[in-house]
Amino acid sequence: MQRKVKLGVVGCGVVATAYYLPYIAKMKNAELVAVCDRFETRTKACMRLFGAREQYLDYQDMIDRADIEAVLILTAPGTHARFAIAAAEAGKHILLQKPMATNMEDANAIADAVRRSDVKAVIEPSAGTNLDPDVELLRGLVKQGVLGDILWFSLAQTGPVSYGPGLGNNAYGQDAFFTKDSGGFLFDYPYAPAQIVGILGPCKSVTATTNLSVGETDIVPEHRYDEFLKSVEDPDACNYWEVVPNLPRTKRVKVEAVDNAYSLYEMKYGGTGSCHVGRTFHPRLPDTGDGGLQIYGTNGNLILGSGYRASIVTKHKDLLPSIEEDGWYHMYPRGDFTKAKWPQPIPGAFTYYHESTRHFVECIINDSKPLVGIDWGIHITEMMAGTLESSKTGKRYEMTSFLDY
């Protein structure tokens, strides 16, 4: 009989009900034992929709009483250190939604607790890492020298226009996106440094400038999410991101964290490049604003985007899997894009919420080390924390963490 990992989930918010819980409910090797949230309307909805056996309104109560082996921490960033440390000390394996932490003190405390307890820890996001076979292939080609020596790279991320029809900015989620302990947009988008490190290897130093540009914004009140959950009958139709852009933004909140950050990353194995993350507060046209990662070397270039997953042009054509008539190797997106409808996962494509959960459960069953674990989480967190530190001091920040490449 197939072993099932007994899971608990803390945080029954938008990401949990849109992505993690529908996937867990279909897994053959996992069982959703318990859900926890400060709002009982949400825990009850998750029991009804996804088959959780127990509900808790107190996290420590779930850790102490529920018959679980592992916990998925899907709460706002300000809770991550406290919740992860409590889980590790209780011997529970951890999947920690991004960001790992918003400062190095918390990140190191999480890492210390995980190492002391010898539990598994998957640190999100796994997007842009070698858990994705496409990234693993690109990383391998770069290591073989397909681009020669790395000269420079650039990446800009300003968030999806799909947060609202013609509207910029997040429509919802004060604790997740706007409060000081959320880390703001810089820490909401670890995808950017993760993508750079995923292909080019570890970072050596950070020089940065940041600012808080817009002090207030309007969002949809919290209670509208609870109303949405009460109305849903289909567990596969729980993606609130499809609904919230069309709701009235009647709650004005303070923006307390950095919303604009420009970092210059110097990489350990060559190349220095720019990375800009900035929150959009006004409309922008579809297919504009976000620039995919572009890497330029002495012998070739690697471009993400332009309708492809990635493209490479190089003098070392013998290293490429194939070459098309235009002289480029084009990696085509995986999945059925005829059915693509953000914010729903694309069928057949790499969906990091799902792949991380699958990997997490398999690491527990097989007693194997996660590919996106503590060391990876510490390094990505330090790249973002280093951005804040460099901006504050006006000096280059030297990285202290290291990753194998």
Q: What is the residue extent of each domain of the chain? A: 5-127+353-379, 133-342+382-398
> Which band of pLDDT confidence, cut at 50, 70 and 90, is reported for residue 168?
low
Dihedral sign (CA 351, 355, 357, 358): positive
Burial class (CB in 10 A: 0-12, 13-18, 19+), 232: middle
Separation in Å, CA 192 to CA 55, 59, 176, 292, 305: 35, 31, 18, 9, 14
pLDDT tens figures, 247-305: 999 999 999 999 999 999 999 999 999 999 988 777 767 666 667 899 999 999 999 98
Average confidence score pLDDT of the chain: 92
Same fold, 5-127+353-379 and 133-342+382-398: no
| 306 alpha-carbon distance from chain centroid | 22
Residues 6+ apart with CB under 8 A from 395: 207
Residues 6+ apart with CB under 8 A from 132: 126, 198, 350, 352, 355
Tokens representing 51?
A: 């088959």
> Which band of pLDDT confidence, cut at 50, 70 and 90, is reported for residue 336?
confident
Tokens representing 54?
A: 């127990």
Query: What CATH class has 5-127+353-379?
Result: alpha beta
Asked, as a colleague might, if the bond just before 235 is cis with ω within 30 of 0, I would say: no
Q: pTM (2 decimals)? A: 0.95
Dmax (CA) of the chain = 62
pLDDT tens figures, 72-82: 999 999 999 99
- Asked whether residue 163 carries a pLDDT value surpassing 50, the answer given is no
The pairs formed by 1-5 with CB atoms below 8 angstroms and a separation of 24 or more are 2/28, 2/29, 3/29, 3/365, 4/28, 4/29, 4/30, 4/31, 5/29, 5/30, 5/31, 5/69, 5/70, 5/361, 5/364, 5/365
Rounded to a whole number of angstroms, the CA Rg of the chain reads 21
Helix orientation angle between 191-200 and 374-393, rounded to the nearest 10 degrees: 110
Q: Distance between CA 185 and CA 262 in Å, rounded?
A: 12
Q: For residue 170, give the nearest of 63, 245, 118, 225 by alpha carbon.
A: 245
Residues 6+ apart with CB under 8 A from 233: none
- Asked whether residue 209 carries a pLDDT value surpassing 80, the answer given is yes
Percentage of residues of the chain with pLDDT beyond 90: 81
CATH 3.40.50.300 fits 133-342+382-398, yes or no: no
Q: For residue 102, give the nearest of 180, 159, 170 by alpha carbon.
A: 180
